Amino acid sequence: MIKSEEIRELFLNFFKKRGHTIVNSSSLIPVDDPSVLLTTAGMQQFKKYYTREKDPLKDFGSQRTASIQKCFRTTDIDEVGDERHLTFFEMLGNFSFGPIINDDPLDFGNGGYFKKAAIYWAHEFLTKELGLKIDYTTIFGGEKNVPLDEDSLKIWQEIGINKIEKRGREDNFWGPTGDEGPCGPTTEIYLEGIEVWNLVFNEYYQDKNGNLKKLEFPGVDTGMGFERLMKILQKTETIFETDLFEPLREILDNFSGEIRRKRIIMDHLRGSVFLIADGLFPSNLERGYILRRILRRLLLHLRFLEINFDVLEKMIKAIIEKYKAFYPELNNFEKIKKVIFDELQVFNETLNKGLREFNKIIKGNESEEALGEKVFYLYTSYGLPVEISKELLREQEINFSQKAEEVFKQLFEKHRLISKKEENG
């Protein structure tokens, strides 16, 4: 069975041979980009090369780069636990910054390329290098002021892919990250019904008001989900059975309990380890709160599976062992462990008391209003975070409705104003 470590190497070598400079993953904490809290895509560290504020030839000796980027996305955080959602993941990508010098897949030089080379190489890597079969592809079908991507359509047909679906802005127009930046139509590659590789043709710059302006030179930004690719290559049932999670799974196999809880533990612990290795600390603010939130949820599920801190320590070590050769910043076991343990030990007490009270007062038959009030009470009197209450309610299939949410929010706002007044004397 081909290992993830080998695939990383194959990917980078494939593009290195084709004139790309290999660039390390940037930190999960974006440098010099206030528009986003965390790094969510491979192109983020290259934004200024698309806008020509920076010169790729000067910095990389090439208009082509490739990377394996650590990414963290919070949009689907509540979905984690199902078969496919993750917060932290790795993304394999190749990038080209304009001007286009030669859009020819046989040109292994260092000049800018565009749709033809990008599509041919993606096809070659998947089908020849990895021996996989492309199911179908999608292209941008045209919407408002952005036309149908006829070029991509022709290129796929030329290659011999016949199933090509046209899709709208929702699916096949990518970006920008944050509130402004490079963006453009995409063509996506599906294997076994799964979207694996997204090739973005950055032709536009979207400003803060949502207006599109043509970039001086178009560029390429591709991103392939590593966990999804490994699932297909290793023919596993879900991403969680790939070798990327193997060391954690081996430990968790010793515990009985819902698979959903195990997946949350695998995802949230791996994500926390990577975030802390990049210098993040849990806090009540912005990105620090994202880390705090996943650590707290992690503790909830560790508790349900009766996994103690010794086992947690083993799991932290297992993640570091699996990834440190490629991500040397993980070589910091003592610090990573300390940040996790400090946070969880403090929260453990709160969680114990909060859970006890939750079980005592939540009956499942209360009105929407009463539910909002109870969740507020658990928060103010026991410090039980609202996300944890909501998760517990979901587990018991108790609906925390829009109305309940509103009641909670109103009480919360009142409480906040009173506390502020008291603070100000």
Judged by the rule CB under 6 A, the positions of this chain that interact with ligand SER are 41-43, 93, 174, 198, 200, 221-223
Give the integer Cα–Cα distance in Å for 109 and 405.
57
Cβ proximity to ligand SER: between 30 and 42 the closer is 42
Residue placing its CB nearer to ligand SER in the complex, 19 or 223:
223
Largest CA distance in the chain: 74
Tokens 């919070």 sit on residue: 74
Shortest Å distance, C-beta 138 to ligand SER: 13
> Could you give the 3-state DSSP secondary structure of residue 195?
strand
Shortest gap between Cβ of 93 and ligand SER (angstroms)? 5
Residue number, 77 or 196, with CB nearest to ligand SER: 196
CB of 41 to ligand SER, least distance (A): 4
Nearer to ligand SER, 80 or 200 (CB): 200
Closer residue to ligand SER, CB minimum distance, 111 or 219: 219
Q: What is the DSSP letter of 25?
A: P
CB of 197 to ligand SER, least distance (A): 9
Nearest residue to 186 via CA among 138, 249, 218, 145: 138
Sign of CA dihedral 292, 294, 296, 302: negative
Which residue number has the CB closest to ligand SER?
Answer: 223
CB of 125 to ligand SER, least distance (A): 15
Find out whether the peptide bond into 147 is cis, omega within 30 degrees of 0: no
Q: How far is the CB of 92 from ligand SER (least distance, A)?
A: 9
The answer to whether residues 265 and 311 touch, using CB atoms and an 8 Å cutoff, is no
Whichever of 174 and 400 has its CB closer to ligand SER, that residue is 174
Give the side-chain half-sphere CA count within 13 A for 151.
12
Tell the smallest beta-carbon distance from residue 186 to ligand SER (Å).
7
Closest approach of ligand SER to the CB of residue 392, in Å? 33
Provide the strand spans (E) within 272-374: none
* Beta-carbon contacts of residue 345 (< 8 Å; ≥ 6 apart): none
134 vs 136: CA distance, rounded Å: 6
Q: Which DSSP string corresponds to 136-175?
A: EEEEE--BTTB---HHHHHHHHHHT---EEEE-HHHHEE-
223: tokens are 């991103």
Based on CB atoms, which residue is closest to ligand SER, 200 or 300? 200
Quick one: tokens of 388?
């944890």
Q: Which is nearer to ligand SER, 156 or 379 (CB)?
A: 156
